[in-house]
Amino acid sequence: MLDDTPAQTAITQATVTRYHLCWKHRDLDGIMALYHPDIEYHDFFQNRLLRLHELRDYVGVSLPRGPDELLEHTDRLRFDGDTAFIQYKVTLRGGQGLVSFRASEAITVREGLIWRVNEYASLVRENAEGKQGDNLRPTVSRLGLSPHQLKFMAEDLQQYFQRKQPYLNPDLDLQQVARECGYSRNQMSYLLNQVLGQSFYRYVTQARLHHLLSAIDCTPGARIDDLAFAAGFNSLSAFYKSFRQHTGQSPTAYLKQLSLRTRAQDTP
C-alpha cells in the first residue's frame, strides 16, 4: 500500500538523493548499502529481474567510468510518498547521427532503503538534420547488456578506431575488433547493427574514408588510388562506390573541386 504522507516523502527524497550521490561518486559499497534485503530490481530493457545477490556485478559494470561522467537528466527528480521518479538520457557516440537511450526509473523506498526499482529504456535515433526517428526497443536479454554498458561499448569501439587505426588493415574482421575491445563477437555485432544502426562493413568503410579525406588534405598531389590502398581498401571498385556514396562525387570530381577551391583561396 502506498504511503503518501509528507514524512514518507521526506524519507524517500533523502534515500534516493544519497543513492544518486553514490552513483555520481562511483561508490559501489554505498549503493549496495542502500538496497533493501528483499529488493526487486526490474530491468525491463533486458527483461530481467535482479535480486540483491546479483546487483553488485550488475551495478559495478554500469557505474560511471570517470568523475565527470554524469547522466543527462531530462526532468527533475520527483518524489511522491514512497516512490521517486527519474528520467534521463544516455547518449552513445559512433553511430550515424545521434543515438541515445531515453530511460526512466521508478524507485520505491521501504524502511529507509530501496525496495524496488523499475527501469525502462527505449532507443532513439536522430539523423544528421536533427529529426528524431521512432523509438526502437531491440531485444538484448540474451546478451545481458544495459544501456549504460552499450554506451561504454560504443566509446571503447570509437577510441580503439581512433588510437589504433585498425581499419588500415585490409583484412580487418569483426572478431578481431571485438577481441581487442574486450567484448564477444555477438556483443559487438549487436552494438553495430541493432544500436548504432550500421553493419561492421559500413562502420569500417566510413573510418577508411575519413582517413583518406584527411590524407588528401595533408598530401596534395598524391594519387587517389594509392591513398585508397593506404587507407585499407583492397578493392578500387568498392572504394569508388563508397566514395561516391559518402561525398556525392567521384574522386576525380572531388579532387577537381578541391583544387579550384584551393586556387580561389590563394588568389589575392
State pLDDT tens for residues 241-251: 999 998 899 98
Residue 94 has pLDDT above 50, yes or no: yes
Strand-pair partners of 119: 43, 105
Q: Which of 2-6, 141-145, 180-184 has the highest mean pLDDT?
A: 180-184
Average pLDDT over residues 56-64: 92
Residue 95 has pLDDT above 80, yes or no: no
Average pLDDT over residues 41-49: 92
Question: What cell does 57 get?
Answer: 556485478
Give exposure, 57-83, as e/b (b: 16+ Cβ within 10 Å). ebbeeebeeeeeeebeeeeebebebbb
With a CB cutoff of 8 Å and minimum separation 6, the contacts of 132 are: 124, 125, 126
State pLDDT tens for residues 106-148: 999 999 999 999 999 988 876 545 555 555 555 454 567 888 8
pLDDT at 74: 83
pLDDT at 203: 94
State pLDDT tens for residues 6-24: 899 999 999 999 999 999 8
The secondary element (H helix, E strand) that includes residue 7 is helix 6-24
Q: Where are the domains of the chain?
A: 6-141
Q: How confident is the model at residue 263 (pLDDT cuts 50, 70, 90)?
A: low
DSSP assigned state of 2: -
Average pLDDT over residues 74-81: 90
Domain 6-141 annotated CATH 3.30.300.30: no
State pLDDT tens for residues 198-232: 899 999 999 999 999 999 888 777 889 999 999 99
Residue 4 has pLDDT above 60, yes or no: yes
Q: What is the mean pLDDT of the chain?
A: 87
- Give the residue, 215 or 267, on which the prediction is more confident: 215
Average pLDDT over residues 78-100: 83
pLDDT at 124: 84
Average pLDDT over residues 175-195: 93
Residue 43 has pLDDT above 80, yes or no: yes
CA separation for the pair 195, 176 (Å, rounded): 20
pLDDT at 141: 46
Long-range contacts of 31-39 (CB under 8 A, 24+ apart): 31/59, 32/56, 32/59, 34/113, 34/114, 35/113, 35/114, 36/110, 36/111, 36/113, 36/114, 36/115, 38/115, 39/113, 39/114, 39/115, 39/116, 39/117
Q: Judge if pTM exceeds 0.95.
A: no
Average pLDDT over residues 159-188: 96
Complete DSSP assignment for 114-162: EEEEEEEEEEEEE-TT--B---B----TTTT--HHHHHHHHHHHHHHHH
